Amino acid sequence: METPSPHKKLAQRATHFAATLALSMATFQLGTALPDAAKTPSETASEVSQLVLNVTGYDTRSGKILVALYNQAQAFDEEARPFRDAKVKVNGAETVVIFENIPSGEYAYKLYHDENGNNELDLNGLGMPSEDYAFSRDASDPFSAPEWGESKFSLPAGKTSQDISLGD
Protein backbone atom coordinates (compact mmCIF):
# COMPACT_ATOMS: atom_id res chain seq x y z
CA MET A 1 0.00 0.00 0.00
CA GLU A 2 1.35 3.42 -1.00
CA THR A 3 2.05 5.93 1.79
CA PRO A 4 0.44 9.31 1.05
CA SER A 5 2.74 12.32 0.83
CA PRO A 6 2.73 14.83 3.74
CA HIS A 7 0.89 17.32 1.49
CA LYS A 8 -1.79 14.76 0.67
CA LYS A 9 -2.13 13.86 4.38
CA LEU A 10 -2.57 17.55 5.25
CA ALA A 11 -5.21 17.96 2.54
CA GLN A 12 -7.06 14.87 3.81
CA ARG A 13 -6.99 16.15 7.39
CA ALA A 14 -8.14 19.61 6.30
CA THR A 15 -11.02 18.07 4.37
CA HIS A 16 -11.95 15.91 7.38
CA PHE A 17 -11.85 18.94 9.69
CA ALA A 18 -14.03 21.02 7.40
CA ALA A 19 -16.48 18.17 6.89
CA THR A 20 -16.71 17.53 10.64
CA LEU A 21 -17.30 21.19 11.42
CA ALA A 22 -19.75 21.65 8.55
CA LEU A 23 -21.72 18.56 9.60
CA SER A 24 -21.79 19.79 13.15
CA MET A 25 -23.05 23.20 12.16
CA ALA A 26 -25.53 21.79 9.65
CA THR A 27 -27.18 19.63 12.30
CA PHE A 28 -28.67 22.60 14.03
CA GLN A 29 -31.15 25.02 12.61
CA LEU A 30 -33.24 27.32 14.72
CA GLY A 31 -35.97 25.25 16.30
CA THR A 32 -34.26 21.87 16.05
CA ALA A 33 -33.06 21.78 19.64
CA LEU A 34 -34.73 19.49 22.10
CA PRO A 35 -38.28 20.51 23.02
CA ASP A 36 -39.05 21.65 26.57
CA ALA A 37 -40.51 18.22 27.41
CA ALA A 38 -37.09 16.66 26.76
CA LYS A 39 -35.23 18.88 29.22
CA THR A 40 -33.56 17.22 32.15
CA PRO A 41 -35.74 16.70 35.22
CA SER A 42 -33.24 18.55 37.41
CA GLU A 43 -34.33 21.93 35.99
CA THR A 44 -35.51 23.68 39.10
CA ALA A 45 -35.53 27.38 39.85
CA SER A 46 -32.50 27.11 42.15
CA GLU A 47 -30.41 25.35 39.49
CA VAL A 48 -31.32 27.50 36.49
CA SER A 49 -28.57 29.31 34.64
CA GLN A 50 -28.28 32.00 32.01
CA LEU A 51 -25.40 31.79 29.53
CA VAL A 52 -24.43 35.01 27.76
CA LEU A 53 -21.99 34.80 24.84
CA ASN A 54 -20.43 38.12 23.76
CA VAL A 55 -19.11 37.53 20.24
CA THR A 56 -16.66 40.01 18.66
CA GLY A 57 -13.75 40.00 16.20
CA TYR A 58 -15.58 39.11 13.00
CA ASP A 59 -14.56 40.65 9.70
CA THR A 60 -17.93 41.83 8.41
CA ARG A 61 -20.92 43.25 10.23
CA SER A 62 -23.52 41.28 8.34
CA GLY A 63 -25.04 37.84 8.49
CA LYS A 64 -25.73 35.86 11.66
CA ILE A 65 -23.97 34.16 14.54
CA LEU A 66 -25.13 30.53 14.80
CA VAL A 67 -24.54 28.64 18.05
CA ALA A 68 -25.12 25.00 18.96
CA LEU A 69 -25.09 24.34 22.72
CA TYR A 70 -24.55 20.76 23.88
CA ASN A 71 -24.97 19.12 27.30
CA GLN A 72 -23.78 15.62 26.36
CA ALA A 73 -20.38 14.43 25.16
CA GLN A 74 -21.78 11.97 22.64
CA ALA A 75 -24.02 14.57 20.99
CA PHE A 76 -21.14 17.07 20.80
CA ASP A 77 -18.60 14.60 19.43
CA GLU A 78 -20.95 12.92 16.96
CA GLU A 79 -22.55 16.09 15.61
CA ALA A 80 -25.97 15.10 16.92
CA ARG A 81 -28.79 17.51 17.61
CA PRO A 82 -27.79 20.16 20.18
CA PHE A 83 -29.50 20.72 23.53
CA ARG A 84 -30.23 24.31 22.48
CA ASP A 85 -29.35 26.47 19.49
CA ALA A 86 -29.52 30.11 18.51
CA LYS A 87 -29.25 32.39 15.48
CA VAL A 88 -28.61 36.05 16.16
CA LYS A 89 -28.33 38.76 13.52
CA VAL A 90 -25.02 40.64 13.40
CA ASN A 91 -25.62 44.40 13.61
CA GLY A 92 -22.41 45.82 15.02
CA ALA A 93 -19.00 45.10 16.48
CA GLU A 94 -20.49 42.80 19.14
CA THR A 95 -23.26 40.23 18.94
CA VAL A 96 -24.79 38.95 22.17
CA VAL A 97 -26.28 35.45 22.28
CA ILE A 98 -28.31 34.58 25.38
CA PHE A 99 -29.45 31.13 26.50
CA GLU A 100 -32.08 31.39 29.27
CA ASN A 101 -33.34 28.83 31.78
CA ILE A 102 -30.57 26.28 31.35
CA PRO A 103 -29.94 23.74 34.11
CA SER A 104 -26.54 24.16 35.73
CA GLY A 105 -24.08 21.49 34.58
CA GLU A 106 -21.46 20.78 31.93
CA TYR A 107 -21.81 22.25 28.45
CA ALA A 108 -19.87 22.89 25.26
CA TYR A 109 -20.73 24.97 22.22
CA LYS A 110 -19.83 25.37 18.58
CA LEU A 111 -20.47 28.61 16.76
CA TYR A 112 -19.75 30.34 13.51
CA HIS A 113 -20.35 33.66 11.77
CA ASP A 114 -22.57 33.00 8.78
CA GLU A 115 -21.46 36.11 6.89
CA ASN A 116 -23.69 35.64 3.86
CA GLY A 117 -26.74 34.30 5.72
CA ASN A 118 -26.97 31.04 3.78
CA ASN A 119 -27.15 28.91 6.98
CA GLU A 120 -24.06 26.97 5.90
CA LEU A 121 -20.45 27.06 7.00
CA ASP A 122 -18.78 28.07 3.74
CA LEU A 123 -15.52 26.39 2.72
CA ASN A 124 -12.60 27.53 0.59
CA GLY A 125 -11.06 25.59 -2.31
CA LEU A 126 -9.05 23.43 0.10
CA GLY A 127 -12.14 22.44 2.06
CA MET A 128 -11.29 24.64 5.06
CA PRO A 129 -13.86 26.97 6.62
CA SER A 130 -13.88 30.42 5.03
CA GLU A 131 -16.17 31.86 7.73
CA ASP A 132 -15.04 32.52 11.30
CA TYR A 133 -15.88 29.86 13.87
CA ALA A 134 -15.13 29.02 17.51
CA PHE A 135 -15.58 26.35 20.14
CA SER A 136 -16.11 26.77 23.86
CA ARG A 137 -12.99 27.19 25.98
CA ASP A 138 -11.29 28.36 22.79
CA ALA A 139 -10.62 24.70 22.05
CA SER A 140 -8.85 24.02 18.79
CA ASP A 141 -7.25 21.25 16.82
CA PRO A 142 -5.43 22.06 13.59
CA PHE A 143 -6.91 19.14 11.67
CA SER A 144 -10.28 18.31 13.20
CA ALA A 145 -13.01 19.70 15.40
CA PRO A 146 -12.13 19.53 19.10
CA GLU A 147 -13.80 16.92 21.27
CA TRP A 148 -16.07 17.35 24.29
CA GLY A 149 -13.21 16.93 26.77
CA GLU A 150 -11.36 19.90 25.27
CA SER A 151 -14.45 22.09 24.98
CA LYS A 152 -16.65 21.41 28.01
CA PHE A 153 -17.09 23.94 30.79
CA SER A 154 -19.06 24.01 34.02
CA LEU A 155 -22.09 26.30 34.05
CA PRO A 156 -23.12 27.24 37.60
CA ALA A 157 -26.56 28.48 38.62
CA GLY A 158 -27.10 32.18 37.87
CA LYS A 159 -25.70 34.32 35.07
CA THR A 160 -22.45 33.44 33.32
CA SER A 161 -20.90 35.57 30.56
CA GLN A 162 -18.20 34.43 28.14
CA ASP A 163 -16.32 36.59 25.65
CA ILE A 164 -15.54 35.05 22.25
CA SER A 165 -13.28 36.80 19.77
CA LEU A 166 -13.46 35.38 16.24
CA GLY A 167 -10.79 35.78 13.60
CA ASP A 168 -7.84 35.91 15.99
Please give the domain boundaries of the chain with CATH numbers for all domains. 6-165 (2.60.40.1120)
What torsion do the CA atoms of 23, 146, 162, 96 make, to the nearest 10 degrees? -20
pLDDT per residue as tens digits for the range 71-115: 999 999 988 999 999 999 999 999 999 999 999 999 999 999 999
- Average pLDDT value for residue range 20-31: 49
Q: How many CB atoms neighbour CB 31 within 10 A? A: 8
Determine the pLDDT at residue 11. 47
CA distance 55 to 87: 12
Determine the pLDDT at residue 9. 46
- Average pLDDT value for residue range 136-143: 85
